[in-house]
Structures are given as C-alpha cells and as structure tokens.
C-alpha cells in the first residue's frame, strides 16, 4: 500500500498494491493491520455504497462530534471528483479543500478523517462508490455545507447547468454559517 499525504494534514491518498495478469486483477481494498502499521487510527464499522449518474454532486456532508466519521472512499465503477474540506476550527488549513479523481481504473482511495466535510461529483456516465465509516450514521448529527460556497470556490469539474443535487444538498448553509464543533 502506498500512502501519499496531501497539503492538508491527515487527509491521505491510499493506493493499494494491485496484482494484475491475463485473468484480471486482485488487491486488498482494506487491511486493518496495514493501517495500524502506518499509524492510521481507524477501525471501520459500516460500509456504504451509492450509484449515481453523470453530474450528480453529493455533499458537502459531515456529522457533528461525538458522532463524526472517518471515511475511506473508493470507486468500483466509473469516476468521481472527491472533495474534502477542513472544518477543524483553529486548523492552519481551515476552510481549505483538496480534490482527487478516484476511478475504478486507478483504484486510489481517499481517507477523510473526522473534522472534514465531504462530497463528490460524478465524472463518468455513472459511478458506483463504496466507502467505509468508523462510526454509525446518526441523523441527529448530520450537517452540511453548501456545495457552491463562494468562499470555498470548489471546482466540481461539472458544468453548473449539468449539476444534479438533492433538494437537501441545495439547502445547506455556507461554511461561515454552518454548525461546526471540531477543533484542531
């Protein structure tokens, strides 16, 4: 497993070791012992999967502490632009975001620690996304930040007129009005 750090501390790109031959490929998408060896403190409890069509933007989502979730994102079909925003008050990278293209071909994964808002945009005709969480979903703790917050200026890699969002995702507040209880 290859781990690449991003410009935001603790936000990691993980590339599994892929074994390919004429039959196809094999890789470990997750191994707790490997994570522990790399000092990645996550013990996952829940797996989620979503299927979305081109132009779908999901996010930016997070859960308030103490229900915050670390997520390990990957794509099993298609391609997405995956985005994490640092919302840890007092962090030198507060309000900064990092984006990475995750695809079924590149098999890269993004580890998003607690204290980050997360979202993704579907770049392919459709995409199937799987992700692990280290805490269970808690509806009462669910929060979000508006995907088009001008202060964040996220490039979703989707033309605005092609963006498809849920009604809930269009109603999230901007970062400066969002309820946040994470500290750096």
Q: What is the CATH number of the domain that holds 68?
A: 2.60.120.10
User: How many distinct structural domains can be found in the chain?
Assistant: 1
30, 61, 67, 157: which one is catalytic?
61
Q: What is the pLDDT of residue 180?
A: 97
Over residues 127-145, the mean pLDDT reads 97
Is residue 69 a part of any domain in this protein? yes
- Domain limits at 161? 2-177
Is residue 182 a part of any domain in this protein? no
- Say whether 157 is catalytic: no
- Say whether 137 is catalytic: no
Distance CA 117, CA 92 (A): 16
DSSP annotation string for 80-144: EEEEEEE--BT-TTTT-EEEEEEETTT--EEEE-TTEEEEEEE-SSEEEEEEEESS---GGGEEE
118, 131, 146, 147: which one is catalytic?
131
Do 74 and 29 form a contact (C-beta atoms < 8 A)? yes
| Whether pLDDT at 42 is above 90 | no
Is residue 56 a part of any domain in this protein? yes
Is residue 183 a part of any domain in this protein? no
Q: What is the pTM of this model?
A: 0.95
Do 136 and 47 form a contact (C-beta atoms < 8 A)? no
| Whether pLDDT at 146 is above 90 | yes
Is residue 184 a part of any domain in this protein? no
| Whether pLDDT at 153 is above 90 | yes
Q: What is the pLDDT of residue 9?
A: 87
Is residue 30 a part of any domain in this protein? yes
């Amino acid at each position: 497993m290859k781990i690449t750090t991003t410009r935001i501390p603790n936000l990691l790109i993980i590339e599994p070791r892929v074994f390919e031959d004429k039959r196809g490929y094999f890789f470990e998408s997750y191994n707790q012992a490997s994570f522990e060896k790399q000092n990645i403190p996550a013990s996952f409890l829940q797996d989620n999967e979503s299927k979305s069509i081109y132009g779908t933007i999901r996010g930016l989502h997070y859960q308030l502490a103490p229900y915050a979730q670390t997520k390990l994102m990957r794509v099993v079909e298609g391609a997405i632009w995956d985005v994490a925003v640092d919302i840890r008050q007092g962090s030198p990278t507060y309000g900064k975001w990092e984006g990475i293209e995750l695809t079924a071909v590149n098999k890269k994964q993004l580890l998003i620690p607690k204290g980050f808002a997360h979202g993704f945009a579907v770049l392919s005709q459709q995409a199937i996304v799987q992700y692990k969480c280290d805490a269970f979903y808690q509806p009462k703790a669910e929060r979000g930040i508006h995907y088009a917050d001008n202060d964040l200026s996220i490039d979703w890699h989707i033309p605005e007129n092609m963006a498809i969002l849920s009604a809930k995702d269009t109603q999230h507040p901007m970062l400066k009005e969002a309820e946040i209880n994470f500290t750096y």
